[in-house]
Structure 1
Amino acid sequence: MNIFQVLSQGKARLHEPSMSAMLGYLLDSSEDHGLGDAFVRVFLAQLGAEHFAEILSCPFINSSAELEVAYELDSAIKYIDIELTLLGKANSVPYRIIIENKIKVGAANPKQLRDYYQAILQDDPTIQKLMVVFLTPESKTSALVAEYDNLADLNPEHHKAWLFWHSDTQASLVALLRQVLLAEACGEINPINEYMRHTLKAFIRHAIGAFSPVAGQASRVGEDIGEIQAELLIELKDGSQYRVVQRDSTQIQVFNVQTGDKEVARRIMGQYIDEQNLPIKHPDFNTRTIGKMLFKLQSSVS
């Protein structure tokens, strides 16, 4: 039995917050997983040993992970998926790593990483040691590339890195977890208790299934047709947020902002139009027309 696969069945499937929670738990050296600093150590080495030389030289790495950390940017709240704080030697400046976790390619938002970085600078203009990690499925779609590339003009002591959840050829979280298990099997680190060893293996198997490029392509619903031409953020009265995307092929798609999942575009847009009492008779039109009218209305308001 693989508990991660069981919990991923139907509507209860694991979403970004759940995957972030597991990753944050493993990266926190004070948690009860029994790994100590073994996983955070290989994680830092992968991100760039030159950036973390002082911390990696410590006998034990003190790392603390927080989830859904709120920052404010121009009166809007931005939630960081994982914020990892690393303490080096006494009196040294703590190193902060923020991780933007995407488990769906469709969750790409060209402005998101840049906004998160600006929110942190707005909160702490003097922050010295900072790295922004972009964690995604193995994909180089234009939307993901745009989000990563838009994080530019970093301060000299700040860095960024792009890491995949799973890849057969490049650095990935799965490879790092396997590295920890191999180190334990070879006696390079302290023994891992049996329960945690099986949990790590289950998590690896789940990640391989969820983030395999072949599996991801086979399970896609609604192929992306064309490049993103425009996008619109909408919020329903229940607080749920959705990203409406218009591609140059005229295709309209709607993504759940929290999970990155594709939604039934016509239903979400119709509900938003009704709640906002917008002058669009959506029952009379198809999805493309509704989306086109929604974008036109938004541009006229702007």
Structure 2
Amino acid sequence: MNIFKALSMGKGRLNEENMSAMLGYLLSPRQPHGLGDLFLKRFLSTLNNFGGCNGRFDNVLDTKNPLEAEVLLEEPYSYLGKKWFVDLVIQIYTKGSSLNEKNEVHRIIIENKIHPQSSNFIQLKSEFLAVLEDLKSQQAQNTTDITMVFLTPDITIGPLQSEFSALLDSDLENHRKAWLKWTGDSSIISIIRSVLKDESIGDIDPISDYMRHTLKAFIRHVLDSQEELKNPSTIKSNDPGEIKEFVLARMDDVLYRIEQYDSSTIRVYNLETQENEVALPMLKRINIELQLGLDTHFSSGQPKNTRHLGKEIIRSLKEQGKAESNPST
């Protein structure tokens, strides 16, 4: 039995919050998993090998002392009046000059994407700017290094690339970003496997049978989930295929992504709740509230279906300049 597979069935399915919680549990030296700071150090070592991050964490890895770290889930930050909830925040400290003083030297922000369609291309950049503003408000000098980690499936898809690319090097200045995958080389799964391998040959202290089986079950669940995304033959028959075109629309300060798939299916995805809306009523609402002026019926009087109306709304949002644009500057 795989407990992760059981929990992912029906409405209790594992989502990004659940997966982030499991990852946060492993990353925190304070949790009773029996790994101490081992998983966190291997995570930092993996980031240390990414382009742009080479040697970034040497100052905390080149010591035999246990890492002083705090891991936070769904941490709220504010930027330009909008609240952003960061999936995972890792704050790493070193001892200060006085006995009880400690300095935050690294703040690692993990934006976790389990499903590519949950991508919001303004999110990673907005979260970075929100964290940067928060640090500047707390420190006279910015002495904490920020590293933005974009954690996604091991596939390439347009919206994911757009979100990662929207955070420019000119925005980062001395800070860094890295695109880490759940599977593949130098991934979360490869880190877990390295822990299991070293434990089996005695290179690290033994871990409990329960924790060992939990890690193996988690690996299997992640691999099965990712295979469904990469291999069309394993996807359910009601899957619409790949996104052919999408556009963003904002109503009541909520951002929606209207997606057209290569099968002509139209979906309206709520980027705040990370759920699909009932498409046709939402398309009609977008048409009214954004004053697109589209007729929801054909000349014969027959009502337009979701595919016809969705296609027209995507085109009208672009032509009328009412679509949300990519804030890449």
CA RMSD of aligned residues (A): 3.1
- Contact 1:210–1:216 at 8 Å: present in 2 too? no
The CA distance in 1 between the partners of 2:232 and 2:22, in whole Å, is 21
Q: Residue by residue, what CA displacement relative to the aligned partner does 1:51-87 show, whole Å, maximum 9, x if unpaired?
A: 1111112321222111111111111111111111112
Residue 288 of structure 1 aligns with which residue?
307
Residue 131 of structure 2 aligns with which residue?
120
- Which of 207, 218, 231 is matched with 1:192 structurally? 207
How far 1:195 sits from its partner (Å)?
1.0
- Contact 1:106–1:261 at 8 Å: present in 2 too? no
Q: How does 1:238-249 map to 2 (within 5 A)?
A: 242-245=256-259
The CA distance in 1 between the partners of 2:19 and 2:210, in whole Å, is 19
Residue 83 of structure 2 aligns with which residue?
77
Residue 100 of structure 1 aligns with which residue?
111
Residue 93 of structure 2 aligns with which residue?
87
Residue 17 of structure 2 aligns with which residue?
17
- Contact 1:234–1:243 at 8 Å: present in 2 too? no
Residue 265 of structure 1 aligns with which residue?
279
The CA distance in 1 between the partners of 2:290 and 2:270, in whole Å, is 21
Describe the shift of the 1:259–1:74 C-alpha distance in structure 2 as closer, same or farther (beyond 3 A).
Answer: closer
SS in 2 for 1:88: strand
Describe the shift of the 1:163–1:277 C-alpha distance in structure 2 as closer, same or farther (beyond 3 A).
Answer: closer
Instruction: State the structure with more CA Rg.
Output: 2
SS in 1 for 2:178: strand
- Contact 1:128–1:158 at 8 Å: present in 2 too? no
- Contact 2:8–2:14 at 8 Å: present in 1 too? yes
- Contact 2:243–2:259 at 8 Å: present in 1 too? no
SS in 2 for 1:226: strand
Structure 1 stretch displaced more, 288-297 or 12-21: 288-297
Match of 2:195, as an amino acid? V
Structure 1 stretch displaced more, 284-293 or 241-250: 241-250
Structure 1 stretch displaced more, 6-15 or 120-129: 120-129
Give unpaired runs (5+ residues) of structure 2: 50-54, 97-101, 137-141, 298-302, 324-329
SS in 1 for 2:111: strand
Q: Is 2:36 aligned against 1:36?
A: yes
- Contact 1:65–1:84 at 8 Å: present in 2 too? yes
Structure 1 stretch displaced more, 249-258 or 99-108: 249-258
The CA distance in 2 between the partners of 1:211 and 1:135, in whole Å, is 13
What's the TM-score, normalizing by structure 1?
A: 0.85
How far 1:269 sits from its partner (Å)?
3.4
What's the TM-score, normalizing by structure 2?
A: 0.78
- Contact 1:103–1:260 at 8 Å: present in 2 too? no
Q: Residue by residue, what CA displacement relative to the aligned partner does 1:258-291 show, whole Å, maximum 9, x if unpaired?
A: 5755555335435x45996977675821223333
Describe the shift of the 1:155–1:181 C-alpha distance in structure 2 as closer, same or farther (beyond 3 A).
Answer: same
- Which of 143, 164, 169 is matched with 2:181 structurally? 164
Residue 326 of structure 2 aligns with which residue?
none
Q: How does 1:206-245 map to 2 (within 5 A)?
A: 206-212=221-227, 213-215=229-231, 218-219=234-235, 221-228=239-246, 230-234=247-251, 242-245=256-259
How far 1:256 sits from its partner (Å)?
4.0
Give unpaired runs (5+ residues) of structure 1: none
- Contact 1:105–1:144 at 8 Å: present in 2 too? yes
- Contact 1:65–1:83 at 8 Å: present in 2 too? yes
Structure 1 stretch displaced more, 151-160 or 70-79: 151-160
- Contact 2:257–2:270 at 8 Å: present in 1 too? yes
Describe the shift of the 1:265–1:171 C-alpha distance in structure 2 as closer, same or farther (beyond 3 A).
Answer: farther
| Count of aligned pairs between the two proteins | 295
- Contact 1:101–1:134 at 8 Å: present in 2 too? yes
Describe the shift of the 1:223–1:247 C-alpha distance in structure 2 as closer, same or farther (beyond 3 A).
Answer: closer
